[in-house]
A and B are shown apart, each in its own frame.
Chain A
Amino acid sequence: MPVSPRAELRRHWPWLLLTPGLLWLLALYVLPLLALVPLSLSEPLSRFGLDTVFTGRVANYLEVLQAYGPILVRSFSYALVATAVGLVLAYPLAFAIRFRGGRWQPLLIGLVVLPSLTSFLVRAIAWTSLLGDSGPVLGLVDTLGLTELLNGLGVLRDGRLLNTPASVILGLTNGVLPFLVLPLVVAMERIDPRLLEAAADLHAGPLRSFARVVWPLSLPGLGAGILLSLIPAAGDVVNPLFLGGPNERMIANTIDNLLLVQLQAPRAAALTLVLMALISVAVVLQLRSRGVEDLPLP
């Protein structure tokens, strides 16, 4: 029996709905990304021209890995530390919002998201005022008599905070916090409160019911949050630029400099693809273990 046109339409309907988005992704993401591949294997024709010639020069990759490998390692280390620090802050926060927020819950979530409404750039510059040598943060540290201790721990460098690794990580943590809190709240949202009542009925104390009920059931949110936080943190350009010094540059700064200052588009493309590949590995690992259903829309 032939399929009626209506049924045909209904069958293709989801694809039609997806078309604008897919075209958008294709034109503005996939194609430019693919264009980077031949560019990364090219050589500039002249020093100040834009034109490059494809020569299949694989050495671009070896050269950037050799020259900027340490900066790649630094970028992912900063991103990991920022995510870890962020989790220490985000987990209790998400727990409180979910289980103690009550009717304030929407407001609390709004407050978590609120800083993200400010421009990235403005936030980084605001931090430079707060973290400066004569800024309020160091003033507080000094008043509390913590300068020596924090110097010893390596958080402060000779009593300074701005333009140190600590200030870059602080800026990154600030940026990724909502990406950690929201997936955790969503995951905890799914925890049936009756499970906690049942745990209590079975004589589990608060700690035990947390360890046996809340923690395992929040793990999907944790995984999603870590991924959503690691990706932007590893590729951040603004925080190291404003809050770091020359010893705290991250890989996006290097790409920026290669492309815009040294005018070496092929090497910048090679480094970009290396970064993309490393991040894709993390994404694939996450998707294989959890799927996409736990990725919330921030």
Chain B
Amino acid sequence: MTRPSPPSRSASAPSPRSRRVFLRQLGLAAAGVALTPPLLQACGGGEGGKDRELVISNFPLYIDVDAPGVPGSVSRFQNDTGIQVRYVEDVNDVRQFFARIQPQLAAGRPLAQDLIVLTGWTAERLIRLGWMEPLPLAEVPNARNLVPSLRKPSWDPEQRFSLPWQSGIAGIAYNIKATGRELRGIDDLFDPALKGRVSALLEMRDTMGLLMLADGQDITRPTWAAAQPSFDRLEQARKDGQIRRFTGNDYQTDLLAGNLAACIGWSGDVAQLAMEQPDLRFLVPDSGGVLWADVMLMPKGARHPQEVARWLNWIYEPVEAARIAAAVQYISPVEGVREVLAKDPATAALANNPLMFPDAAMLKKLHVFGPLSDQEEARWEERFARITEG
């Protein structure tokens, strides 16, 4: 893999870094605000599957990108298949993305996208609402490479509508220079010494999951009553100014800019950021980390199902999946990736990274947030919003 080498630790570094931070944040904001119109324009082109096009929405920084001399996955797929891909990184917060696609789907109109990548619990909701098309899995022989632990998940019990993109862990990210010490668990986020330099995720299941695990609760069967102490703790911390912000992917900017000492974050992001900022650490607390999966879904009326099948089959090839895994450093859902990484001296170290390939000890600490009924979820989200939105 070609990657920018980590910047030197000299004190003269901040100006290019802060410019990069600025550009990165601008990109994230633009993804949320500005990229919808081009997607809408995509509706007009071609008819049927003849135009050999594929429109994908995904989270930002979630794939290997073109580097000098090394084309990224999207380019390689285009070269291999002749299919034009519009790959748009416009999912910053899944709830806002859901709200954006909801009017069209509810009215029975197709989206511009052929494939969207969203978190497991959103997938469950979209499948249950009948807004998704079964994936053309008959034309995806490589789907057999899906790791056993992610087969027939709770959000798609028959494995008809979704295939995982990546899975990962919600835990604690911190800058060891800013904290001045190693952190050990969730309690450290509430340390008064870090007041105003801590953030938590807007992704309710990740933030609440970690807090509830620290409180000794079972998050695989979440209940309203069991969540109250964690809600109270979060609310108090927000009122006290302990928590500076609630974020989507944008916590990365604040972490790099030095505005955060510690935060709730996602494993792969932090592995990527650590290449720019070597003082960053990622911790899965002993009380437990939250395991999640982001999955690919095909909305009803998607225009290019054959191209979707080609894409799914292509990225479920272990060699291709390994390139994505090496770039994003999340948990790859594709069997055989570890072996591919181990063979290449440049990536061999990743094959032994427990955050990418959790060992037995790590797996014991990881929990998946269980399902909430509609009514329960509405109640949870309202309380969570009252905390995150002041």
- Which residues of A approach B to under 8 Å, CB–CB? 47-51, 67, 71, 121-122, 125-126, 128-129, 132-135, 157-158, 160, 162-163, 245-249, 253-254, 257, 259-263
B381 touches A261 (CB 8 A): yes
Q: A121, B196: Cβ atoms under 8 Å? A: no
B26 touches A122 (CB 8 A): yes
Shortest distance between the CB of A258 and any CB in chain B (Å): 8
The residue from A48, A163, A254, A260 contacting B129, defined by CB atoms under 8 A apart? A48
Pair B29/A125 contact, Cβ less than 8 Å = yes
| Stretch from B14-22, B147-155, B213-221, B304-312 that touches the partner | B14-22
Partner of B389, one of A135, A157, A246: A246
A-B contacts besides A128-B25, A129-B257, A246-B238, 18 pairs, CB < 8 Å: A49-B106, A50-B107, A121-B33, A128-B257, A129-B18, A129-B22, A132-B18, A132-B257, A133-B197, A133-B259, A160-B197, A247-B238, A247-B239, A254-B389, A260-B96, A261-B99, A262-B385, A263-B99
User: Pick the contact of B103 from A50, A128, A129, A132 — CB < 8 Å?
Assistant: A50
How many angstroms from the CA of A253 to the CA of B258 in the assembled complex? 25
Nearest CB to that of A258 among chain B residues?
B385
Query: A132 with B259: in contact, given A160-B196, A246-B388, A261-B385 (CB under 8 Å)?
Result: yes
Q: Number of B interface residues, CB 8 Å? A: 43
Residues on A with C-beta less than 8 A from B303 are none
Give the residues in chain B near A163, CB-CB below 8 Å.
196, 244-245, 259
User: Cβ of A126 and Cβ of B22 under 8 Å apart?
Assistant: yes
A253 to B245, CA, bound (A): 14
Main secondary structure on chain B at its contact with chain A? helix
A249 to B18, CA, bound (A): 25
Query: In the complex, what distance in Å separates the CA atom of A163 from the CA atom of B258?
Result: 13
A249 to B374, CA, bound (A): 27
B378 within 8 A of A: yes
Residue of A nearest to B257 (CB): A132
**Interchain CA distance A254-B95 in the complex, whole Å:** 15
Per-position binary interface string of chain B over residues 227-251, scored 1 when its CB falls under 8 Å from any chain A CB and 0 otherwise = 0000000000011010111100000
**A50-B22 in contact given A129-B257, A133-B258, A246-B387 (Cβ < 8 Å):** no
* Set of chain B residues within 8 Å of A122, measured between Cβ atoms: 26
CB distance from B192 to the nearest CB of A (A): 10
Q: Could you write out 21 A-B pairs with CB less than 8 Å apart? A: A50-B102, A50-B103, A50-B107, A125-B26, A126-B22, A132-B18, A132-B257, A132-B258, A133-B258, A134-B259, A135-B18, A157-B241, A163-B244, A163-B245, A245-B244, A246-B246, A248-B390, A254-B389, A260-B96, A261-B381, A263-B99
Please tell me if the beta carbons of A134 and B258 are within 8 angstroms of each other in the complex.
yes
Write out the residue numbers on chain A whose beta carbons fall within 8 Å of the beta carbon of B25: 125, 128
Expressed in whole angstroms, the Cα–Cα distance for A251 and B129 within the complex equals 31
Partner of B241, one of A47, A247, A259: A247
A121 to B29, Cβ gap below 8 A?
A: yes
Find chain A residues with CB under 8 A from B106 CB.
48-51
B125 with A48: CB separation less than 8 A: yes
Shortest Cβ distance from A74 into B: residue: B390
Known: A50-B107, A132-B258, A248-B390. A262 touches B382 (CB 8 A): yes
The yes or no answer to B3 lying at the interface (CB within 8 A) is no
Check B195 for interface membership: any CB of A closer than 8 A: yes
Per-position binary interface string of chain B over residues 174-204, scored 1 when its CB falls under 8 Å from any chain A CB and 0 otherwise = 0000000000000000000001110000000
Query: Is the CB–CB distance between B257 and A134 below 8 Å?
Result: yes
| Nearest CB on B from A27, distance (A) | 20
Which of B33, B103, B390 interacts with A71 by CB under 8 Å?
A: B390
Residues of A within 8 A of B125 (CB): 48
Check B243–A129 contact: CB distance below 8 A.
no
Smallest Cβ-Cβ distance to A261: which chain B residue: B95
Determine the residue in chain A with the shortest Cβ distance to B103. Answer: A50
Question: Which chain B residues border A126 with CB–CB below 8 Å?
Answer: 22
Contacts of A246 in B (CB 8 A): 238, 243, 245-246, 387-390
The 7 closest A-B pairs by CB, nearest first: A249-B390, A260-B99, A134-B258, A261-B95, A246-B390, A133-B259, A129-B22
Least CB distance from A121 to B in Å reads 6
Query: In the complex, which residue of chain B has the Cβ closest to the Cβ of A257?
Result: B389
Q: A254 to nearest B CB, angstroms?
A: 6
Name the CB-closest residue of A to B200. A246
- Which of A158, A162, A163 is the most central at the interface, judged by chain B CB atoms within 10 Å of its CB? A163
A67, A157, A261, A262: which contacts B196 (Cβ < 8 A)? A157
* Nearest CB of chain B from residue A201's CB, rounded to whole Å: 56
CB of B386 closer than 8 Å to a CB of A: yes
Residue of A nearest to B195 (CB): A158
Question: How far apart are the CA atoms of A262 and B99 in the complex, in Å?
Answer: 9
B107 (CB) vs chain A CBs: closest residue: A50
Quick check: A48 and B102 within 8 Å, CB to CB? yes
Shortest beta-carbon distance, A246 to chain B, in Å?
5
**Separation in Å of the A163 CB from the closest CB of chain B?**
5
Instruction: Considering the complex, give the chain B residue whose CB is closest to the CB of A163.
Output: B244
Contact B258 A247 (CB under 8 A): no
CA distance A6 to B241 in the complex (A): 71
Decide if A257 touches B385 in the complex (CB within 8 Å): yes
A125 lies within 8 A of B22 (CB): yes
Cβ distance B70 to chain A, nearest Cβ, rounded Å: 30
Contacts of A132 in B (CB 8 A): 18, 257-259
A contact residues around B253 at 8 Å (CB): 128
User: Which residue of chain A is the closest to B375 with respect to CB atoms?
Assistant: A47
Q: Give the residue among A67, A125, A126 with the most B Cβ atoms within 10 A.
A: A125
Query: CA separation between A134 and B351, bound complex, in Å?
Result: 36
Distance in Å from the Cβ of A125 to the closest Cβ of chain B?
6
A263 partner residues in chain B, CB cutoff 8 A: 99, 102
Docked Cα-Cα span, A20 to B210, in Å, equals 57
Could you tell me the distance between the alpha carbons of A261 and B29 in the complex, rounded to whole angstroms? 17
Produce 1/0 per residue, B22-54, CB < 8 A to A.
100110010001000000000000000000000
Question: Which residue on chain B has the smallest CB distance to residue A51?
Answer: B106
